[in-house]
Amino acid sequence: MSEHIVSTTEAWELSSLAHKVSNMHSHLAAQLASCYKHIDERKHIEVFQNLLHLFEMIHIDNMRVLKALIYQKDDLQPLLDGDTKRRVNIDVLRRKYVLLLISDTDISQEEVAILEQIYEARQHPTRQESQYEVVWLPILDPNVPMTETMQKQFDNLQATMPWYSVYHPSLIERPVIKFIKEVWNFTKKPILVVIDPQGRVASPNALHMMWIWGSIAFPFTSAREEALWKEETLRLELLVDIIDPLIVNWIAEGRYICLYGGEDIEWIRKFTNAAHDVAKAAGIPFGLVYVGKSNPKERVRRNTITISAEKLSHCWQDLNLIWYFWVRIESMWQSKMQLGRSVENDPVMQGIMSMLSLDGSEGGWALLSRGSAEMATAKGSIFLTCLLQYDQWKEQAQQNGVVPAIRDHLKQLHTPDHCTRLVLPGTAGRIPERVVCAECSRPMEKYVMYQCCDE
């Protein structure tokens, strides 16, 4: 009996001791985890502060800066060459201009496709404007574990890129992500940070310059941006650039060219028929181009099919080109805003705002141009009425030219009653506090709009 009591007592003591040891282990493990966390936080602070310091220093090349951003150790090849699909060392970027394409994996196919066209257009490697490399920095939430679906999405996107990319998102450390978000103001919309051969930031975001001018904007500095704008006026060449060689040929031939947009296919049929009738009656060389609507969806796609099938006008079957046309217009607005321009004293900005306002309206719209200076723009219903009233202004067209005659007649048709909406992308940089109406020059009211539309 006594032996049983002793055995029970020993078992209880052992159980109690095991419980105490377990508690001590849990406590020490928690303390150790806390210490590791504190050490990591201190390291992250040091890395962040080091990044700030590095971008204030003078360097002989860009290696220290790029290694701090991408991967600091020398035991790994952190980049994937988009051409060969092989891993390479960061030294391939030494003493080059490096364009850091910063985005998450939700970057649109349109952005990648158009950027690829611009990148691949560097046909003359000896030219100065071709001396740059693009590197994709994928920025993902470090607090979210990488799932198989996320990995597949990353792999698929990486495979479409012809430029360099960071081999895996995990190579970009937490403090670097913090730096990119807090110092370079990356949120969701992709940005293109330019690092010069000495490791200095030449541009905090050159994406809008890339959309407007492509590689001609090299080296993508504010000074280069200013210089390019000094050479520009509001002309058709600026709006269409190299999107469509056919339009460039039409401009060179001296044709009257009409860009028109909107989603109402019935208005499109009436407008294009009236435009062709006026061109035939006036005996002028004429070209019509459908440019759809910003962020083109299913309706615009259906319209392009109908326009082509019925031979109503020239149009872009590739919706990426329609997207590019409008993103260039939006980029012009962003560029001008970034340079501190205002609508009141900048004719180019006035024209850009007019186009964005027309795109934001419910109906169609049209812009008629010939040469670099002549231009007439109006909402679809007014422009259609003007064309249908050709007999009222045809004599003036014979005396002063078609575009001035149309512009004068549009002024006669214009009424003070209007409802103009200017839709600006909410994540596309600084949104101005004050914008004047393109119709009456009064300050516009500001609203916040959230939109999801697949039509």
Q: Along the 455 residues of the chain, how does pLDDT read in single tens digits?
A: 555 555 677 777 777 787 788 788 877 777 777 776 767 667 778 888 988 898 898 999 999 999 999 987 766 899 999 999 999 999 999 999 999 999 999 999 889 999 998 888 775 555 555 679 999 999 999 888 889 999 999 999 999 999 999 999 999 999 999 999 999 999 889 999 999 999 999 999 999 999 999 989 999 998 999 999 999 888 888 998 878 889 989 988 989 999 999 999 999 999 999 999 999 999 999 999 999 998 888 999 999 999 999 999 999 999 999 999 999 999 998 898 888 887 778 888 888 888 888 888 778 999 999 876 688 999 999 999 999 999 999 999 999 999 999 999 999 987 665 455 556 655 444 556 566 665 555 565 565 554 555 44
The neighbouring-strand residues paired with 260 are 290, 366
Instruction: Compute CA 116 distance to the chain's CA centroid, rounded to the nearest angstrom.
Output: 13
CATH topology of domain 63-226: Glutaredoxin (3.40.30)
d(CA 3, CA 122): 92
- CA neighbor of 293 nearest in space, from 267, 265, 323: 323
Gap between the Cα atoms of 324 and 304, Å rounded:
16
CA angle 375, 380, 383 (to 5 degrees): 55
Which tokens in the block code for residue 425? 């992308």
H helices within 160-285, ranges in order?
174-182, 207-213, 222-230, 236-240, 245-253, 265-282
CB 147 within 8 A of CB 66: no
Tell me the pTM: 0.82
The C-alpha angle with vertex 247 and arms to 397 and 375, in degrees rounded to 5, equals 35
Q: Where in the chain is the domain with CATH 3.40.30.10?
A: 63-226
**Contact (Cβ atoms closer than 8 angstroms) between residue 351 and residue 343:** no
Residue type, 205: N
- Fold classification of 236-413 is Glutaredoxin (3.40.30)
Cα angle value 437/441/444 (rounded, 5°) = 40
